[in-house]
């Protein structure tokens, strides 16, 4: 059977986008995460109202994001991975934000959400493509007869990792490692690549 890779974006290939936007714009409030406001809708509404209050358009935010670089070694790892396997990156971010970063990663396929933007390029809202999109992507690929190897760094990846045929955590926070000891944790790209290659080799041997 053929394997396919299903991976997270932020924390795996690129740094956290909102935190970087906060740092690069100097707007500290944008550092709020689901740890501060647990309800995602409330958090996103807050973020969008902050952008609005500062008069920031989509073009402004994209210019900021264009200054963010992939994590060190991420592009080389991804290039090596794409030479051996097909990969779908699945993220909770918005396609309009991710664009400049995906270009730096040489445009791997990304499944994510999208923003609502008005004629003056003001961000007026957003659209989540579907509930539980990460897990559903893993399931859809299995429905296409792929054996799914998934990896991600945190809580929002867990359901995808649990649905996958093989799963790895990449640089997870300690509490995630403690809560999900059955998912092997990896901390650098070579280690993760070694796990992926071993998984595929074992699959072919069976």
Kindly list the residues in this chain that would bind a copy of itself in the complex (CB under 8 A): 1-2, 82-83, 86-88, 95, 103, 106-111, 114, 127, 129-130, 133, 136-137, 140-141, 143-146
Asked if residue 106 lies in contact with residue 89, where contact means CB atoms within 8 angstroms, the answer is no
Q: Are 77 and 193 in contact (CB under 8 A)?
A: yes
Shortest reach from residue 1's CB to a copy of itself, in Å: 8
Provide the minimum distance between the beta carbon of 13 and a copy of itself in the complex, in angstroms, as a whole number: 15
Q: Which is nearer to a copy of itself, 121 or 129 (CB)?
A: 129
Under 8 Å CB-to-CB from 174, ≥6 apart: which residues? none
Please identify, using beta-carbon distances, which residue of 41 and 130 lies nearer to a copy of itself.
130
Tell me the closest approach of the beta carbon of residue 85 to a copy of itself, in angstroms.
9
Q: Which residues are catalytic?
A: 8, 10
Judge contact between 143 and 137, C-beta under 8 A. Answer: no
Pairing of β 123-127 and β 109-117: antiparallel
Nearer to a copy of itself, 82 or 171 (CB): 82
How many separate helices (H) and strands (E) can be counted in the chain? 9, 7
The smaller minimum CB distance to a copy of itself, of residues 22 and 161, is found at: 161
Distance of closest approach, residue 203 Cβ to a copy of itself, in angstroms:
12
Q: Which two tokens stand for residue 38?
A: 């647990």
Please give, one letter per residue, the 3-state secondary structure of 70-128. CCCCHHHHHHHHHHHCCEEEEEEEEHHHHHHHHHHCCCCEEEEEEEEECCCCCEEEEEC
């Amino acid at each position: 059977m053929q394997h396919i890779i299903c991976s997270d974006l932020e924390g795996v290939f690129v740094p956290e986008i909102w935190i970087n936007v906060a740092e690069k714009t100097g707007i500290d409030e944008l550092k709020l995460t689901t740890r501060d406001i647990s309800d995602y809708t409330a958090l996103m509404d807050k973020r969008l109202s902050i952008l609005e209050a500062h008069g920031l358009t989509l073009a402004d935010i994209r210019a900021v994001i264009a200054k963010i670089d992939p994590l060190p070694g991420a592009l080389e790892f991804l290039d090596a991975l794409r030479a051996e396997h097909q990969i779908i990156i699945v993220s909770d971010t918005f396609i309009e934000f991710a664009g400049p970063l995906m270009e730096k990663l040489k445009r791997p396929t990304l499944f994510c959400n999208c923003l609502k933007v008005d004629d003056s390029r003001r961000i007026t809202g957003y659209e989540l493509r579907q509930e539980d999109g990460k897990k559903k992507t893993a399931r859809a690929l299995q429905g296409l007869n792929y054996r799914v190897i998934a990896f991600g760094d945190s809580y929002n990846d867990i359901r995808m990792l649990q649905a996958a045929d093989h799963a790895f955590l990449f640089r997870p926070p300690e509490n995630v490692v403690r809560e999900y000891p059955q998912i092997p944790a990896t901390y650098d790209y070579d280690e993760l690549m070694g796990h992926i290659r071993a998984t595929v080799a074992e699959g072919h041997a069976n």
